[in-house]
Amino acid sequence: MVSKGKREPKSSRPHQYYLGVDGGGTKTHIAVVNAAGELQCEGFAGPANPLRVGLETAVANIVKAVNEACDRGSVSRGDIFAATLGLAGVRRADLRQRVRERFVKSIGIRNVTVVTDAEIALYATTFGEPGLVVIAGTGSICLGRNSKGKIAISGGWGPLAGDEGGGVGIAQAALHSVAKASDGRGISTILSERAAEYFRASGPENLIVAIYSPQVDNSRIAGFARFVVEAAQEGDAVAVDILNEAGSELGLAACAVIEKLKLGKDKVPIGCVGSVFKAGEILTKPMIETIRTVAPDAFLTEPTMPPAQAAALLAMLNGSSADNNGTGQNRKR
């Protein structure tokens, strides 16, 4: 049940369900809620970032997660009235439209909205009120909204041009340090042994073969970030520096959004979403210190619910709007 009742979507369809999708570069999480906004069932599958895995694979993983959830919760797909898909990699309107068309064709729900994963994470944090969300999972991105409804974004450039502070960025920084240590260009670090073990190399000097294997994709590289966190928690100086820098970069992304939205004088909430935040204060301390250089009263918080569930509540809002306008059709005819 949504804790903030005044913002809870209302449905005139007591026997209908609403679908929310949170699709990232590593996994897909879907949630189905009933007409009261209560979580009915959940499902999980592989990545759903169409830029990284392709349109067909992304949609197939979403459908797989939906089927798993419906089977687990005894929900008929035909009773799902509306869906909101929050996906990484869909900033382009034409790609959102292509994803929507393919999803509708695959599953039959007509009332479908496709947005970025940052938008559903922001709703999970602020329920439409002013604030920001920073996502640091496989990649990284920051999204914010002010009291006038203006939206601003920073990051989300992907592994070639961005993703600072995300799993890929942290892992790449660690591999750079390992390479330097192996050559004698940098200080020694336990990350060398951890990297060899994770990427299944016989030793740090053979990582050059392992990390360029065709099987090592962005998801696999991002997974090494967990070992960087563990090394930092054990006191490895190189790992600590990497996470401090990652936190500062996430803070800079938030600063850019705060300045664009003129929120510097506000007590602005900043939601933290993604596996990277499991690092704790090693990451969040430099992050909030950076943010407070432009917004002294800003504070970090966590979403009140998983982004997938927030997406389902957005589907309720969108579904109610479509229903009131006489345009809400559930199944293709």
Q: How confident is the model at residue 15 (pLDDT cuts 50, 70, 90)?
A: low
Beta bridge partners, 23, equal: 28, 87
Q: Is the pLDDT at 332 greater than 60, yes or no?
A: no
Tell me if 28 sits within 8 A of 8, measured CB to CB.
Answer: no
Q: Is the pLDDT at 26 greater than 80, yes or no?
A: yes
Query: Judging by DSSP bridges, how do beta strands 131-136 and 111-116 pair with one another?
Result: unpaired
Extract the tokens encoding 2: 């949504």
Q: How far apart are CA 128 and CA 109, in angstroms?
A: 25
Write the pLDDT tens digit of every residue in 154-204: 998 877 888 899 999 999 999 999 999 998 999 999 999 999 999 999 888
C-alpha count within 13 angstroms, C-beta hemisphere, residue 222: 24
Return the CATH architecture of domain 5-125+305-324: 2-Layer Sandwich (3.30)
Alpha helices by DSSP H, listed for 127-236, are: 158-161, 167-183, 191-198, 207-210, 218-223, 225-233
Start-to-end Cα distance in the chain? 33
Q: What pTM was computed for the model?
A: 0.81
The mean pLDDT value for 107-136 works out to 93
| Ranges of each domain in the chain | 5-125+305-324, 131-301
Q: How far is CA 101 from CA 94, 97, 110, 113, in A?
A: 11, 6, 9, 10
pLDDT on residue 108? 85
Q: Is the pLDDT at 5 greater than 70, yes or no?
A: no
Which of 205 and 272 is assigned the larger pLDDT? 272
The owner of tokens 């809620």 is 33
Extract the tokens encoding 117: 């994963």
What are the backbone angles phi and psi of residue 142, rounded to the nearest 5°? -130, 135
Query: Judging by DSSP bridges, how do beta strands 299-301 and 269-273 pair with one another?
Result: parallel
Which of 42, 49, 8 minimizes the C-alpha distance to 316? 8
Q: Is the pLDDT at 243 greater than 60, yes or no?
A: yes
The mean pLDDT value for 7-13 works out to 50
Q: Which CATH superfamily is domain 131-301 in?
A: ATPase, nucleotide binding domain (3.30.420.40)
Poorest-confidence range of 11-15, 74-78, 94-98?
Answer: 11-15
Tell me if 170 sits within 8 A of 176, measured CB to CB.
Answer: no
Alpha helices by DSSP H, listed for the chain, are: 50-53, 55-73, 93-107, 117-126, 158-161, 167-183, 191-198, 207-210, 218-223, 225-233, 237-261, 281-291, 307-324
Which of 169 and 217 is assigned the larger pLDDT? 169
Q: Mean pLDDT for the chain?
A: 89
Q: E-strand spans in 2-90?
A: 17-23, 28-33, 39-45, 80-87
Write the pLDDT tens digit of every residue in 137-162: 888 999 999 999 999 999 988 778 88
Q: Do domains 5-125+305-324 and 131-301 have the same CATH topology?
A: yes
Q: How many residues does the chain have?
A: 333
Tell me if 50 sits within 8 A of 58, measured CB to CB.
Answer: yes
